[in-house]
Structure 1
Amino acid sequence: MSELTQITDFTRLFTTDTPLIDTRAPIEFEQGAFPQSQNLSLMSNDEREKIGTCYKDKGQAQAIELGHKLVQGDVKNKRIEAWLQFIKNNPNGALYCFRGGLRSQITQQWIYEASSVNYPRIKGGYKALRRFLIDETNRIMQQITPIVIGGQTGCGKTLLLDKVNNMIDLEGLANHRGSAFGNATTPQPTQINFENALAVELIKKQHKTTLLFEDEGSNIGTVHIPDCVQAKTKQAELILLEANIEQRLKITMDVYVINMHNDFIMQDSIKGFDNFAQYWLRSLEKIQKRLGLERYKVLLKLLNNALLKYKEQGDYKDFYPVVEELLVNYYDPMYDYQIKKKMNRVAFKGNSDEVLAYLLD
């Protein structure tokens, strides 16, 4: 068993997007894994719990014996079949368990016995890979020069960043746009998955002299930006992207109304509009206290009218006054307050073309 191949070059794993079999139980995988991994577990959650109890009460030998009793016959064959199918589709992949111990060794051995394929396992398993990614995030953030792109809500920061290849899309990795209205139609990643995906992006782009980040707070929705990233970006050169209110209205309408509605419809053609409406109503409710009761009531009435017209006539134009009110009288004052504390870091300001020209100079 120990003669089968182990992998120790973790950097290459992530720069080449090596497909990975995660042999841990589903509950472990759900808590955190790696972007290119698929959960094909050796043991189910229930089996893992029983074996863990046996290990505590009776020791390793009897726990292993129980494991072989629980995973045998058709159960064993189906799991081997799943691994072999993965290997057929991903011949250059690898596998891992939590510490690179018994689970991945047994999986590797069973694969070899069934197919004569020496499919490599990760030395140290998930724990070693996770530690590696945390350390790499810290190391790379120390060595690169970040540049931060700021600007008013709706000015097109994400659209600008999409035009350059030396950027780290924190909001994309977090699956959230970083505001009360920032939820996507799909859930955010776990904190661990967010950190792992961020680390992989940093590893892939570490050779670039500078990396661009969007100006963010300490959290994006439910995920926390690693402290080492915050520490470096909060001291970085700041470039302000400028846009007039007409441009900001168009961008915001596209992102939060038209595209969001389409995303909800694509996800569920029957309940899509209702889910879209609930997204807007819940998002507005989140900022009720900041708006004040009277402003909230006015906006809620406008929003309900806009939703009704959109549903009945397919006309989204009544969203314009809602969006404009939020941009001008809610988000802009907060932006003005925050940017005053950062003016000493501003190196350049301009429209999208001017900022791109400055970055490429």
Structure 2
Amino acid sequence: MSELYDDFKSIVLNNTPLIDVRAPVEFEKGAFLNSCNLPIMNDEERHIVGICYKNEGNAKAIELGHKLVSGDVKEERVVAWMDFMDANPDALLYCFRGGQRSKISQGWLRESGREIKRLKGGYKAFRNYLLRELEESHNRFKPIILGGRTGSGKTLQLKKMPNAIDLEALANHRGSSFGQKITPQTSPINFENNLSYELIQKIEEGFKHIIFEDEGKHIGNVFMPQSFISAMAEAPLIILESTMEKRINITLAEYVIEAQKMYIMAGFEDAFRAWQQSIESAMKRIEKRLGYEKYAIVCALFKSGVNEQIKNGSYEKYKEWIEYLLREYYDPMYDYQIQKRSKQVVFRGGEKEVYEYILSSFNNAIKSSSHIGFAK
């Protein structure tokens, strides 16, 4: 059996589980989908070995590494790898360059009677493959952009389309001033890796058109790849239109009801207060754009909603706050941006009309209408 594996496309298409033996600090900077960090050395051990390598050379560094990771420490890490392999029989192994750390790990597993392949070239080679695919993928599909005002249900619409890629989900950010989530935002490296995975999979499925939500150059702290921005610039733009009432209800569910649940699930001591402070911080960030008078009004409306919920457990008062926020902040900003791109707009309509337009106008845009279930 070959010790090395370099069919990176197969890893993506099969969502192959991966054992990342790099140190946690390396893993946090960037990793791959379906990878699990089971390091051969922790951060401190890696740091000590790195100093030795710099001062005394490779041989001494390897000798020190074996000394630091020996006995019970070594046994514990090998057992962790074997447990992962038991749960994921097709797992592969990698370190940064596919060199010493993954080779040593592979050898220790063999000593325990287990065989596993390691990625040829390691993290660096696989990462370069994903970047190349990301750079060149726009030549293999045609993008469709789904736009619409805040709360119109764009994300909900995307979830019904098998050839859609939810960029906000990949970035773990809602893409607005109020879009920050409790969990940390995806790192720029992981965003690129995950987007490349999605594109490779969609293209392999045979989709000639891929649908994306209308986004700017960045989503929170994550910036879109330049080649991707260029491909989107000429794409047909379809506007999803919704009533104000529906937009208010969608925004209420997202910003208030579901957001509060997330704070509760995250185990905050005072989840409601933590959520309230997050909204107040978001409003403070848009104070300059709103202007003092409108900022004062939006804060007062939000406070009224908070008081009503505390008093009666009702969310109704938040609707006044949301409507004001939509009319005075989001709508003027979005309408201005759409006006500048009016030549890209090819269609406007409601949820069902948008789906039917995409189905009839773009060859192979959506494979099967069985994926779609419209609310009556």
Q: What is the Cα deviation at residue 4 of structure 1?
A: 5.0
Q: What is the Cα deviation at residue 271 of structure 1?
A: 2.0
Give 5+ residue unaligned stretches, structure 2. Answer: 361-376
Partner of 1:124: 121
Paired letter, 2:303: N
Does the CA-based 8 Å contact 2:93-2:119 persist in structure 1? yes
Deviations 1:225-273 (A, max 9, x none): 1111111012101101111211111111111111111222222264211
Paired letter, 1:286: R
**Quick one: distance in 1 between partners of 2:4 and 2:299?**
59
Partner of 1:73: 71
**Quick one: distance in 2 between partners of 1:30 and 1:335?**
34
Partner of 1:332: 331
**Quick one: distance in 2 between partners of 1:301 and 1:355?**
37
The within-5 A match list for 1:1-361 is: 5-114=3-112, 116-206=113-203, 207-268=206-267, 270-361=269-360
Does the CA-based 8 Å contact 1:150-1:214 persist in structure 2? yes
**Quick one: distance in 2 between partners of 1:336 and 1:103?**
54
**Quick one: distance in 1 between partners of 2:352 and 2:2?**
55
Q: What is the Cα deviation at residue 313 of structure 1?
A: 2.2
Q: What is the Cα deviation at residue 185 of structure 1?
A: 2.3
**Quick one: distance in 2 between partners of 1:345 and 1:305?**
41
**Quick one: distance in 1 between partners of 2:136 and 2:302?**
47
Instruction: Return 216-225 or 253-262, whichever deviates more.
Output: 253-262
Deviations 1:104-137 (A, max 9, x none): 00000100111x2211100000000110100011
**Quick one: distance in 2 between partners of 1:302 and 1:348?**
35
Deviations 1:179-221 (A, max 9, x none): 1011122111111111111111111101310000111000101
Deviations 1:26-45 (A, max 9, x none): 10001110111000001111
**Quick one: distance in 2 between partners of 1:153 and 1:273?**
24
3-state DSSP class of the match of 1:249? helix
**Quick one: distance in 2 between partners of 1:73 and 1:52?**
21
**Quick one: distance in 1 between partners of 2:8 and 2:235?**
29
3-state DSSP class of the match of 1:230? helix
Deviations 1:251-306 (A, max 9, x none): 11111111111222222264211121112111111100011112111211221121
Deviations 1:125-155 (A, max 9, x none): 0000110100011111222100000111111
Q: What is the Cα deviation at residue 21 of structure 1?
A: 0.4
Does the CA-based 8 Å contact 2:95-2:101 persist in structure 1? yes
Does the CA-based 8 Å contact 2:18-2:92 persist in structure 1? yes
Instruction: Return 299-308 or 233-242, whichever deviates more.
Output: 299-308
Give 5+ residue unaligned stretches, structure 1. Answer: none
Partner of 2:363: none
Q: What is the Cα deviation at residue 308 of structure 1?
A: 2.2
3-state DSSP class of the match of 2:54? helix
Does the CA-based 8 Å contact 1:27-1:45 persist in structure 2? yes
Instruction: Return 267-276 or 92-101, whichever deviates more.
Output: 267-276
Paired letter, 1:358: Y
3-state DSSP class of the match of 2:296? helix
Instruction: Return 307-316 or 44-53, whichever deviates more.
Output: 307-316
Does the CA-based 8 Å contact 1:4-1:118 persist in structure 2? no
3-state DSSP class of the match of 1:99? coil
Partner of 2:364: none
TM-score with structure 1 length normalisation?
A: 0.97
Does the CA-based 8 Å contact 1:150-1:240 persist in structure 2? yes
Instruction: Return 306-315 or 150-159, whichever deviates more.
Output: 306-315
**Quick one: distance in 1 between partners of 2:267 and 2:359?**
42
The percent of aligned pairs where both chains have the same amino acid is 46
Q: What is the Cα deviation at residue 333 of structure 1?
A: 0.8
Count of residue pairs the alignment pairs up: 358
Instruction: Return 3-12 or 212-221, whichever deviates more.
Output: 3-12
**Quick one: distance in 2 between partners of 1:71 and 1:358?**
61
3-state DSSP class of the match of 1:254? helix
3-state DSSP class of the match of 1:353? helix
Deviations 1:147-192 (A, max 9, x none): 0001111111111111100011100101111110111221111111
TM-score with structure 2 length normalisation?
A: 0.93
